[in-house]
Structure 1
Amino acid sequence: MTYLSFPRQHARTQRFTLGVPRAFAIAPGGDRVAFVRSRSGTEREQLLWVLDLPAGGAQDPVERLVADPAAVLGGAGEELPAAERARRERSREGSAGVVAFAVDRAVELAAFALSGRLFVADLTAAGGAGGEGAPAVRELAVPGPVVDPRPSPDGRWVAYTAGGALRVAASGGADSDAGAGTEGGADAGGDAGGGAADRALAEPDGPSVTWGLAEFVAAEEMGRSRGFWWSPDSSALLVARVDEAPVQHWWISQPAHPDRAPVEVAYPQAGTPNAEVALALFGLDGSRTDVVWDRDRYPYLASVHWSPAGPPLLLVQARDQRSQAYLSVDTASGATKALAVEEDPTWLDLFPGVPVLTPAGELVTITDASGARALKVGELTLTGPELHLRALLDTGDGDFLVSASAGQAAAAPEIGEIHVYRVPGGSAPAAPVRVSAEPGVHTAVRSGGLTVLTSATPERPGPVTRVLRDGAEVARIASHAETPSLTARPRLLEAGPARIPTAVLLPTGWQEGDGRLPVLMDPYGGPHGQRVHAAHNPHLVSQWFADQGFAVIVADGRGTPGRSPQWEKSIAGDFAGVSLPDQVAALHAVAELYPLDLGRVAIRGWSYGGYLAGLAALRRPDVFHAAVVGAPVTDLRLYDTHYMERYLGDPREQPEVYEANSLVGDHGLVQAAEPARPMMVIHGLADDNVLVAHSLRLSTALLAAGRPHEVLPLSGVTHMTPQEQVAENLLLLQVDFLRRALGTRPRR
């Protein structure tokens, strides 16, 4: 067996996520769970599986493979269309194969795309796992390249996007009428696996228009990765029309390949126009009804929900994100009616799983109320300050399944823990019931009397996935993830008077008396980026750095999620003045507990963490002596509208706020202090989220100021670094830089 170093193992396993089951879909009868998982902890290709749960428990649960991409494609390698590559970049998806699938209401039919081709799978079939002649998987001959295919609730149709159009094809199943609702049958030609009557419902009316796809800020910042939604009766679809004509276009070049033309991207920079987003209702009978709301007041389409409980439900936001409206749609006229309007003087957050309607038609939201983040049904608030709501996982007939952290009124702090709770419904609030038992980080999917509970704890590598029926475990879904070659030993604490959630990692085998340790701060430290988790694997890289001879400190200061609304919103208008002092406070608090060498303190980070690392080296050189600055946002005016304007306002109205918080400005470094500290600046040249212009502007300013730094450009790398060799060597080069900058030696 070939020995792999931890950096290589970490890269090859994609942070030990390969082989872990995910993307669960539970049949309403509770007898079947579909999911994706790779064959091993080092194979990138995801396969579609089903776990059968025989009724009454008379037989053991049985796993079966439904779709193997290698067999389905006949051994051909996967080739991703540009739109699919963009979707995966927005979702930070680094694996291959069946990375996502969608199902009908009965969870009998699944649809997925491979290499831009459309496939459907019978999840009830006991036949083969793809490939020619296999009964479980069929290809539908449709125009491509196919992106985001989704079956109708009744399973008769599959809607998908291709070439900017929203198209519908007959699924070819036993209950499908290939010619229903079409003029002359299929316009795609061919007959693959049952025949696919196919037609376009919505076609682009201009070169900048697409139907059925999420625009950049929706996918990157709002958590909305889709652009069309089936009606519950399968007769129509709500489809988003996106016109990128108003958006400025940038070009991402490939300096390592000067023979290739730059890639043009529509990027809505803060303070500039966004894409124009509208909705229309298309019937399979050929009808079209435009949906009308005040798009000048609420230009952001944040969420769409359409269930049998009532009419379509929209969540729309004002551009400043201080006001949002929940709208119901009249499907006959396209008119909308406000069910509720929320306002907040700072900003309004968006949460997974809401808004939805209960089976009785009541509006369900997550809202900030009386200093807490709570679950609200209609006018009734069901949870209090004992919980800090993270997401709504399921809406049942009489209860709600939620993800939550301990709130400000919790009996005891639960540092880094996220639990699953069942919140009773009814006319009066009742105490939530915790579903997840052991300390750790948990999430769940629920349907048909089953709950699939995924749990990660600090004591064991990787998550465990249990299938529960009425609270009792009836099966486990196996993980094929590799076991890490090192063990993370995070010490979780609340640092300083502000009780900053913090993880401290010391070298393996370190004992009192071994001397003072040089320090590496390892934060993300900003919005959306909780790093302190009560779980093992999230701390593996930090532990590896610790084992190189550092005391590593991971601190989730103000602005990071999971604590309270006030904690998250305290950074409004002031990234630099809040995020950086909290890192300093955490460092000094930990120094009172462990023997730290405060004369040798470095900081590393990526994205917001890279911004924070650069900020630390420039503005607090009295505390920080070196920085690894990865993919940093240095000129905040160059980042996108929905993110940056939420926190810092509109740069056209408040340019001074952007200047004060940026690492670079119109006249070089701003507010930089002496002495100059060395920096390693790292950036992927193909990054379309935080463009390499950020690091180039920083390097230019550092050079003009005569400040020591080195730049590591990553050719062909985006905001992710999934390439194995790149990811491995990035860790090794960072350690080498830190040792040189701090004057430390390798640990023996």
Structure 2
Amino acid sequence: MKHIILPFCICLFITTILSAQTKDITLEDIWKDGSFRTERMDALHSMANGQQYSVLNFDRESRSTSIDIYDYKTLKKEATIVNSANLEEIPYFTDYTFSKDEQLVILATNEKAIYRRSALGNYYVYNVKEGSLDLISEDKIQEPTFSPDGKKVAFAKENNLYVKDLSSGKITQITSDGEKNKVINGITDWVYEEEFGFVRAFDWNADSNKIAFIRFDETNVPEFSMDVYGSELYQTQQVFKYPKAGEANSLVSLHLYDLSSDKTKTVKVDKAYEDFYIPRIKWTNNPDILSAQYMNRHQNELDLWMINAKANTSNLVLEEKDKAYVDVTDNLTFLDDNSFIWTSEKDGYNHIYHYDKNGNLINQITKGNWEVTNYYGYDDKSNTIFYQSVENGSINRDVYSVKLNGRNKSRLTKSEGTNNASFSADFSFFINTFSSATTPPEYTLNSSTSGNLIKSIKDNDKLAQKLSEYKTSKKEFSTITINGNDLNMWMIKPANFDESKVYPLLMYQYSGPGSQQVANRWNGANDYWYQHLAQEGYIVACIDGRGTGLKGADFKKVTQNELGKYEVEDQIAAAEQLGELPYIDASRIGIWGWSYGGFMSSNCLFKGNDVFKMAIAVAPVSSWRFYDTIYTERYMTTPQENASGYDENSPINHVDKLKGDFLLVHGSGDDNVHLQNTMRLAEALIQADKQFDWAVYPDKNHGIYGGNTRLHLYKKMTNFIHETLGDKILKEEETKVNQVKIKG
């Protein structure tokens, strides 16, 4: 045999290739070591000049934070606004907010979460020019907000509203009737925060002399209590107002505070509402005109009011109605002439509309059988709107521009996957965050006129290089035809997949109204878990069934009044169809999900007991009667009106059908989907004499995290999957069959 001598560099290259993709992804890699953490840009803010942006940076060595200014064109750091290393009072801060003129900054410290979006903290005002620091309040407060003129800060404390004059230091108390579990001023109650997605329920007008705020009277809302076990001898209780479906909501009212007169008046609109929500308030460019969105309890009627604070009049300018429900919009934008931009599903897909100040339609700006998924803003100099949509396929996201008249639409992003933009204040540039199933997040500077790349800012090439050392499988996107619909699907197969072999299948889904899990974007933590499971010999698949989003209103709203009916039918049918594939073992199909997904996986195991061998339900809703008013009634109306819709599709009423293996998991401190759901489901299973496994994580909320919690949870779930779907089970079943044959 002839010996061939290769150059050293070629030998090294071959050795690298041979050693690549040999490492297994471990659960510790994912949830303990942070091995696959991505580089990000935190708290990105475009400066008013449109040529610079600021970022919150954390120095791990000094454990300090800074607000650093970068030039858009050069991407070079040009200045540091403030560094906590130079501040005696603040070791570090976690967030920042500029005043309109950017001469003052609110620095957030000691923030402690209340619920999902709310927090209490100590906040300082930093003077950029003087380098001085002023503590807003000695007490912990919520939502400190600069007035537009930068001379005052409004904030909430102990359910009341206050204003601080920054020059004199004087604090004025606006409201005095705030009381825990009774009255809240200017801050949303639990259900508004969770389901309408905002906390600050007050807003400054353009002249900085009026504040509009919503008052919540929680007196008649039933209380929910949770034991907090902690580490002391006796547990404590967290007691808060939580309106479950069909129960009393907070009574809301809208108020205007006038700083010059120090007086507050209640807003009355010219329509009688019996039971209603105020999901948004926003001042127009006119300092005397406030916009407010009012919604009936069924949430199928949304009214946009223009309230004249000076004349004490109200004008109903827009009415949205739907046979199912109307989504609240965050995209209301007022132009100089007080005409406004609005997004709506009224033509069957979410699109952008332009109305005059009286609510007369000027034109529909975007049209088509696709959804606008994000609205970035309007550039009045070029009459251009910037937005994100799924026009390039419902699993992708692209950034577009279009003229106010609906013409000259242009796709600004070029790469197929998920693109999300952060525009400069003057709309001359945008920082694009791009990722796909094969490309980790990368941040680039792009031109707003052409979308062309100007410079790369940050990438995750190191992570991509690191991942090349691991055994990974491609996430394969496709569609599957189920119940007459082409549903989006992804599938991950073992890296050494052999079509002649059979594999167990684990299905994942969330399935909630308007949601999406099948998307062309980079890995989350669970994706690495699925890669781990693929390495262990499982196929993992995810299908977005009816009721999920971005395929039009009809597809999304088909589940109205019957949550858990069509979604479950689709997952069962998908499992049956996948089970017919020659390489999937139809006798070893499992399903799992979290929250709505846990509600679904429970239902699928019970109702599809001949299809699914096992299910894992984490923090599931077991009956919609236990969940909150705003979310549940949006899709189901009330239990009093729709008892059958609530009961026929709730897992708690189908426990007698359980045949397979079931793992039930919950956090005892879950303020969102209460532990009550799991306790009642467990009791129903026990009384039906159905065996199941379960775990309760002490004091953990809906996210079930902290310390080793996530690692412990995923070890438990992984072990359960091995025990119920793994090859060991298959071999045991084969042994039993062989024994029967021998005896026969």
Per-residue deviation, 1:653: 1.7
What is the one-letter code of the residue matched to 1:536?
W
Per-residue deviation, 1:662: 1.2
Question: Are the equivalent residues in 2 in contact too, given 1:202–1:211 (CA < 8 A)?
Answer: yes
What is the one-letter code of the residue matched to 2:174?
L
Per-residue deviation, 1:685: 0.4
Corresponding residue SS for 1:532: coil
Equivalent residue, structure 1, for 2:533: 545
Per-residue deviation, 1:373: 2.0
1:573 aligns with 2:558: no
Equivalent residue, structure 2, for 1:505: 492
Equivalent residue, structure 2, for 1:233: 207
Deviations 1:495-548 (A, max 9, x none): 1141111111112332433x1110000111112431111012133333333223
The answer for unaligned runs of 5 or more in structure 2 is 1-22, 111-120, 356-360, 731-744
Question: Are the equivalent residues in 2 in contact too, given 1:269–1:637 (CA < 8 A)?
Answer: yes
Q: How does 1:459-470 map to 2 (within 5 A)?
A: 459-466=438-445, 468=447, 470=449
**CA–CA distance in structure 2, aligned partners of residues 144 and 274 of structure 1:** 29
Q: Which residue, out of 117, 120, 125, partners 2:125?
A: 120
**CA–CA distance in structure 1, aligned partners of residues 473 and 274 of structure 2:** 49
Corresponding residue SS for 2:679: helix
| Distance change in 2, residues 1:243/1:65 (3 Å) | farther
Equivalent residue, structure 2, for 1:249: 223
Stretch moving more, 355-364 or 707-716: 355-364
**CA–CA distance in structure 1, aligned partners of residues 593 and 82 of structure 2:** 38
**CA–CA distance in structure 2, aligned partners of residues 18 and 695 of structure 1:** 34
1:670 aligns with 2:654: yes
Equivalent residue, structure 1, for 2:290: 312
Q: Which residue, out of 67, 71, 76, partners 1:61?
A: 76
Stretch moving more, 644-653 or 146-155: 146-155
Equivalent residue, structure 2, for 1:260: 235
Question: Are the equivalent residues in 2 in contact too, given 1:20–1:38 (CA < 8 A)?
Answer: no
Stretch moving more, 15-24 or 452-461: 15-24
1:288 aligns with 2:264: yes
1:529 aligns with 2:505: no
Question: Are the equivalent residues in 1 in contact too, given 2:370–2:550 (CA < 8 A)?
Answer: no
Per-residue deviation, 1:489: 2.4
Per-residue deviation, 1:736: 0.4
Q: Which residue, out of 300, 305, 310, partners 1:322?
A: 300
| Distance change in 2, residues 1:295/1:14 (3 Å) | farther
What is the one-letter code of the residue matched to 2:489?
T
| Distance change in 2, residues 1:433/1:139 (3 Å) | same
Q: How does 1:137-536 map to 2 (within 5 A)?
A: 138-171=133-166, 178-179=167-168, 196-207=169-180, 208-255=182-229, 259-285=234-260, 286-293=262-269, 294=271, 296-297=273-274, 299-308=276-285, 311-351=289-329, 353-378=330-355, 379=361, 380-397=363-380, 398-406=383-391, 414-426=393-405, 429-446=406-423, 447-449=425-427, 450-466=429-445, 468=447, 470=449, 471-474=451-454, 476-478=456-458, 483=463, 485=467, 487=472, 489-496=474-481, 497-513=484-500, 515-536=501-522
Per-residue deviation, 1:13: 7.7
Equivalent residue, structure 2, for 1:736: 719
Corresponding residue SS for 1:204: coil
1:29 aligns with 2:15: no
What is the one-letter code of the residue matched to 2:553?
P
Please tell me the root mean square deviation across aligned C-alpha atoms, in Å. 3.0
Corresponding residue SS for 1:292: coil
Question: Are the equivalent residues in 2 in contact too, given 1:309–1:360 (CA < 8 A)?
Answer: no
Q: Which residue, out of 628, 637, 642, partners 1:640?
A: 628
Per-residue deviation, 1:326: 0.6
Deviations 1:455-482 (A, max 9, x none): 2222222343535454454555547898
Computing the radius of gyration over CA atoms, which structure comes out larger, 1 or 2?
2
What is the one-letter code of the residue matched to 1:284?
L
**CA–CA distance in structure 1, aligned partners of residues 84 and 478 of structure 2:** 45
**CA–CA distance in structure 2, aligned partners of residues 357 and 291 of structure 1:** 21
What is the one-letter code of the residue matched to 1:243?
D
Question: Are the equivalent residues in 1 in contact too, given 2:349–2:553 (CA < 8 A)?
Answer: yes
**CA–CA distance in structure 1, aligned partners of residues 175 and 297 of structure 2:** 27
What is the one-letter code of the residue matched to 1:629?
A
Per-residue deviation, 1:154: 2.1
Per-residue deviation, 1:735: 1.0
What is the one-letter code of the residue matched to 1:354?
N
**CA–CA distance in structure 1, aligned partners of residues 317 and 204 of structure 2:** 21
**CA–CA distance in structure 1, aligned partners of residues 395 and 26 of structure 2:** 24
The answer for unaligned runs of 5 or more in structure 1 is 79-96, 126-134, 172-177, 180-195, 407-412
Deviations 1:341-374 (A, max 9, x none): 11111111123x3223233312322112333222
Stretch moving more, 26-35 or 230-239: 26-35
**CA–CA distance in structure 2, aligned partners of residues 139 and 488 of structure 1:** 53
Deviations 1:565-585 (A, max 9, x none): 111101111222211111123
Equivalent residue, structure 2, for 1:50: 68
**CA–CA distance in structure 2, aligned partners of residues 15 and 554 of structure 1:** 25
Q: Which residue, out of 643, 651, 656, partners 1:655?
A: 643
**CA–CA distance in structure 1, aligned partners of residues 184 and 255 of structure 2:** 13
**CA–CA distance in structure 1, aligned partners of residues 443 and 728 of structure 2:** 38
Question: Are the equivalent residues in 1 in contact too, given 2:349–2:368 (CA < 8 A)?
Answer: yes
Deviations 1:669-689 (A, max 9, x none): 337435x21111110000000
Q: Which residue, out of 703, 712, 726, partners 2:695?
A: 712
**CA–CA distance in structure 1, aligned partners of residues 505 and 695 of structure 2:** 23
Per-residue deviation, 1:627: 0.7
What is the one-letter code of the residue matched to 1:288?
T
Corresponding residue SS for 1:702: helix
Equivalent residue, structure 2, for 1:92: none
Question: Are the equivalent residues in 1 in contact too, given 2:369–2:552 (CA < 8 A)?
Answer: no
| Distance change in 2, residues 1:671/1:263 (3 Å) | closer
Corresponding residue SS for 1:495: strand
**CA–CA distance in structure 1, aligned partners of residues 707 and 105 of structure 2:** 31
What is the one-letter code of the residue matched to 1:203?
S
Question: Are the equivalent residues in 2 in contact too, given 1:405–1:419 (CA < 8 A)?
Answer: yes
Corresponding residue SS for 1:499: strand
Equivalent residue, structure 2, for 1:698: 681
Stretch moving more, 445-454 or 525-534: 445-454
State the TM-score, normalizing by the size of structure 1.
0.83
Per-residue deviation, 1:322: 0.8
**CA–CA distance in structure 1, aligned partners of residues 564 and 64 of structure 2:** 41
Per-residue deviation, 1:111: 1.6
Q: Which residue, out of 554, 557, 573, partners 1:585?
A: 573
Q: How does 1:669-688 map to 2 (within 5 A)?
A: 669-670=653-654, 672-673=656-657, 676-688=659-671
Question: Are the equivalent residues in 2 in contact too, given 1:34–1:48 (CA < 8 A)?
Answer: no
Equivalent residue, structure 1, for 2:672: 689
Question: Are the equivalent residues in 2 in contact too, given 1:121–1:136 (CA < 8 A)?
Answer: yes
